[in-house]
Chain A
Amino acid sequence: MPSSILTPRELRALERVGDIIAPACGPLPAFSATGCVHYVDDLLRYMPPEDVADIRLLLRILSVKPTSGIRFILALAGAGRRWRGPVGAALRMIEIGLKGLVVSLYYSGRTAPGYAGASPVDVIGYRPRVVPRD
């Protein structure tokens, strides 16, 4: 059980959303393959409780949608960045909330114990060096 905040159903929805936002692509592994979702609590526990509640609700809604439905909602949310008014604001919040969660986990450099593939940050060549102080 990688999360004490999300339910198994919400976690499965997050993995499906993650695979749509960050699918396998050439040498890049799919979101779900890296196991980065194991660290979702490290992100959620620092977020305001009301934001976490909104994300959980969104994941529960998406959990009953087919993949094509999730893809449509993400595309609509992306298009919403040009819209004014409360609908545009809601769509932007959905896009930033879901994409922020997925991208932060996927490009954190953290992978599940036992994952043998290359981390996404290694694939794209991002491993900043910190030279120790003498």
Chain B
Amino acid sequence: MSGQFDCVIVGSGTSGGVIAYYLTAGGMRCLLLEAGDAYGAGTFPENDMDGSARLFWGGGLELGATAEMAFLRARCLGGTSVVNQCLLDRFDEHAWDAWQATSGIGFFNARDMAPHYSEIEGRLPIKEIPSTQHNRNARLFVHGCEALGYRWAPLRRGETDCAIEQGNDCIACLNGCRRDSKQSTLVTFIRWAQDLGLAVRPGFQVERLESTPDGVRLAGTERGAPHEIRAPRVVLAAGALGSTRLLLCSGFDRYLPSLGAGFYCHPQMMTFAEFDEPVDAHRGAFQACKSDDPRFRRAGFKLENVFAPPTSVGMLYPGFGARLQEFMLRYRHLASLEVAVQDVVPGRISVDARGRLRIAKRLEGEDLRRGQAGLRAVREILERAGARTILHCPIGFGLHLMGGVAIGQDARRAAVDERFNLRGFPNIYIADSSIFPAAPGVNPALTIMALGHRASQEILHAV
């Protein structure tokens, strides 16, 4: 297949969906490839086992090399935007300053990125979750914070109508939103781009990328059968693990030795607390507010009021047998809080001889100290809220997967330049979370979209 498309985009999540839209709207003939299947409001899995198995890489989760951390990334059309809570926050000055210092990229500041944020925000209905929609888990968090003088803030979510007042439970949309309320790229940018002529091929996994004199060659499998695609250019948008793996498997580390370095993931740790009265943390807007305290920001962590379905709670509980079952019988009485660390100790992504991912990432050193400080704050808040018992879960996990193909001015440390080009390969672009030069400590989704918009303008300008 050659000459049919001006650009192929690999990966359909938060980055790929946005870039596909802006390039198509700019007049380019684009093809969007997604390794996973296409689901929709009428076909999303209806239970958590099927949701994990069908919508995530690894059949649910992928383990780090030492199995101390688990990583979750979606494998379906719309990518992680289908299974997250569509939380959309701008970076603060702290995050931009750190990025600029690390990368030397001039436009990494609030002023230069503002038009890109505004462009995305102007297209999506974004709501702050009001206090009237707080379930008891959120109310306990707010009560504990306010009693201790910690600042909190409502979460900003991309949604049209989650029908909380009518009794809808948003925890179900961890397996995809069956109301089409969540503003994933599946129901926004990809759909809009398809209306303009974007071609989409789900079930296509790219295994090799080659730069050729007239563009790029992508080799992979489509539903098990080998396929090859040629195009003048490619945008990699498969996320930190996917984009990095593809480049490593394709041998680009021979030219770009920094490939795979600088992996971050905002390591997260859950704490459960048992209360005498039912909490019903899974009801309504199960993730509604976060810490907004400058002391926590300086200490390198944030807290989020969130809960999990029983498949995850049972997994996180450190034990089995009657103890596990007795704990699960108290499910409705559990509140929970999550610590997310702004990690500064980089991990590394590599591949073995068979092309399998190896993720070297541990919670250690300064990251461990930050996590422990966060857990102390969590305990303090939950105790003040009246918890009877508190349980810190031993498994850390990463949902915000970042880095591996860092952007920056220093060619020795950064594989991507400020025009989102893979260094030395003018037909290969990347603007997904793999280019993050450091962990921002802020939910990354909106910034990935804003970078996608900026990258699409660069590509259209170059063409």
Q: A residues bordering B, Cβ < 8 Å? A: 20-23, 25-28, 39, 42-48, 50-51, 71, 74, 78, 81, 84, 88-89, 92-93, 96, 99-100, 103-110, 120-121, 123-126, 128-133
Contact = CB atoms under 8 A, between A and B. Distances in A.
B47 interface: yes
Given A42-B49, A74-B320, A107-B310, A51 B169 contact: no
Nearest to A24: B325
A128 B169 contact: yes
A18 B32 CA distance: 42
29 contacts: A20-B320, A23-B322, A25-B325, A28-B328, A28-B329, A42-B50, A43-B53, A43-B60, A44-B59, A46-B59, A48-B58, A48-B356, A51-B58, A78-B320, A92-B63, A92-B68, A96-B70, A99-B314, A104-B48, A104-B311, A107-B309, A107-B311, A109-B47, A121-B310, A128-B282, A128-B283, A129-B168, A129-B172, A131-B163
B308 to A, nearest CB: 11
A57 to B, nearest CB: 17
A20 B163 CA distance: 40
Given A103-B315, A104-B48, A81 B53 contact: no
Contacts of B163: 131
Given A21-B324, A84-B66, A104-B315, 14 more contacts: A20-B321, A21-B320, A23-B321, A26-B325, A43-B53, A43-B60, A46-B54, A100-B315, A107-B328, A108-B49, A123-B329, A129-B172, A130-B179, A133-B180
B331 A126 contact: yes
A125 B53 contact: no
Chain A CB within 10 A, most for which of B65, B282, B325: B325
A81 B318 contact: yes
B178 to A, nearest CB: 5
B171 interface: yes
B167 interface: yes
B319 interface: yes
A45 B319 CA distance: 27
Interface of B: 41, 47-50, 52-54, 58-61, 63, 65-68, 70, 161, 163, 166-169, 171-172, 178-181, 278, 280, 282-283, 309-311, 314-315, 318-322, 324-326, 328-329, 331-332, 356, 394-395
A128 B59 contact: no
A44 B331 CA distance: 27
B198 to A, nearest CB: 25
Nearest to B172: A128
Q: Which 8 pairs of residues, A with B, have the shortest CB-CB distance?
A: A47-B59, A25-B325, A108-B49, A92-B67, A128-B169, A103-B314, A107-B310, A131-B168
B172 to A, nearest CB: 4
Nearest to B163: A131
A100 B314 CA distance: 9
A100 B65 contact: no
Contacts of A46: 53-54, 59-60
Contacts of A22: 314, 320, 324-325
Contacts of B171: 128
A100 B324 CA distance: 13
A93 B318 contact: no
A23 B47 contact: no
B398 to A, nearest CB: 15
A124 B67 contact: no
Contacts of B278: 125
A125 B66 CA distance: 35
Nearest to B75: A46
A130 B168 contact: yes
A131 B167 contact: yes
Nearest to A19: B321
A108 B329 contact: no
